[in-house]
Amino acid sequence: MDRAQLLLLGLPLFLFCSDLLSLFISSPPSPPLSSKPSHHHHHHRPAIDPATVEPSSEKPETTIVGGVGLGNTVTINYCSSCSYRGKAVAMKNMLEIAFPGTEFILANYPPPLPKRLLSKVVPVVQIGVIGIVVAGEQIFPMLGFVAPPPWYYNLRANKFGTVASTWLLGNALQSFLHSSGAFEVYFNGELVFSKLKEGRFPGEIELKNLITKKMANSRLADGVPELWP
């Protein structure tokens, strides 16, 4: 068995094993925690005589430091292979204006585990078919065949068409297996909108109202007065 034959047999096995290891070992990176130091400036104010101060009938205004969404997190998990990133970025920009101070996280929504496993098998099959077409006369005797099967000669008759079709069909199948069709929006870990359930994208006003309700309920549960009418 020469080096070329070892390469044709070993490369698909190596790719398959490395994909399996990366599938079960690798974990998505956690979002970075950004902490900004707060600078406190002390200003000296002149003393005021209480007798000269007139009582005011206006109610004190409640100011929120950092924005109305401070301490909250909105996560948008989308299908990256479906070209949904532009939609996710547009929603994120709209929500950043509506809820300043909120932390926004964009992440890929992976397909189910069976589809991910099949997507790892496809490139191995592609390389195997191309290897058989190119060097089948040396591979089949090593596998115990006296002569290559009849279908091998049909593939070998149109070598370029077979290789091109295998490559294109394999890539199309991989794109299908990587797609999840998801556009899921979470507020503090709680699902707010799911494209997988609704079968459509959320409207901007609709999503803004859903997050407003969730944020108001969260503030009421924490004992903070509601900020929206």
pLDDT at 17: 65
pLDDT at 141: 84
How far apart (Å, rounded) are the C-alpha atoms in residues 226 and 68? 11
How far apart (Å, rounded) are the C-alpha atoms in residues 93 and 213? 19
In this structure, what CATH number is given to the domain that contains residue 201? Answer: 3.40.30.10
Are residues 130 and 172 located together in one domain of the fold? yes
Are residues 125 and 214 located together in one domain of the fold? no
- Domain for residue 47, yes or no? no
- Domain for residue 25, yes or no? no
User: pLDDT (tens digit, 9 = 90+) per residue, 86-141?
Assistant: 999 999 999 999 999 899 999 999 999 999 899 899 999 999 888 888 888 888 88
- Domain for residue 27, yes or no? no
Query: How many CB atoms within 10 Å of residue 208?
Result: 17
Q: Is 179 helix (H, G, I), strand (E, B) or coil?
A: coil
pLDDT at 78: 95
Residues whose CB falls within 8 Å of the CB of residue 151, separated by 6 or more in sequence, listed in order: none
Q: Quick check: 174 and 123 in contact, CB under 8 A?
A: yes
Are residues 102 and 118 located together in one domain of the fold? no
Q: In this model, does residue 42 exceed pLDDT 70?
A: no
- Domain for residue 100, yes or no? yes
The residue that leads in pLDDT, 219 or 191, is 191
Are residues 169 and 122 located together in one domain of the fold? yes
User: pLDDT (tens digit, 9 = 90+) per residue, 194-226?
Assistant: 999 999 999 999 999 999 999 888 766 655 554
Instruction: Give the range of the structural domain holding residue 84, as residue numbers without chain letter.
Output: 73-110+180-223
Are residues 160 and 213 located together in one domain of the fold? no
Domain count along the chain: 2
- Domain for residue 67, yes or no? no
Find how far residue 89's CA is from the centre of its chain: 12
Identify the band that residue 153 occupies on the pLDDT scale cut at 50, 70 and 90: confident
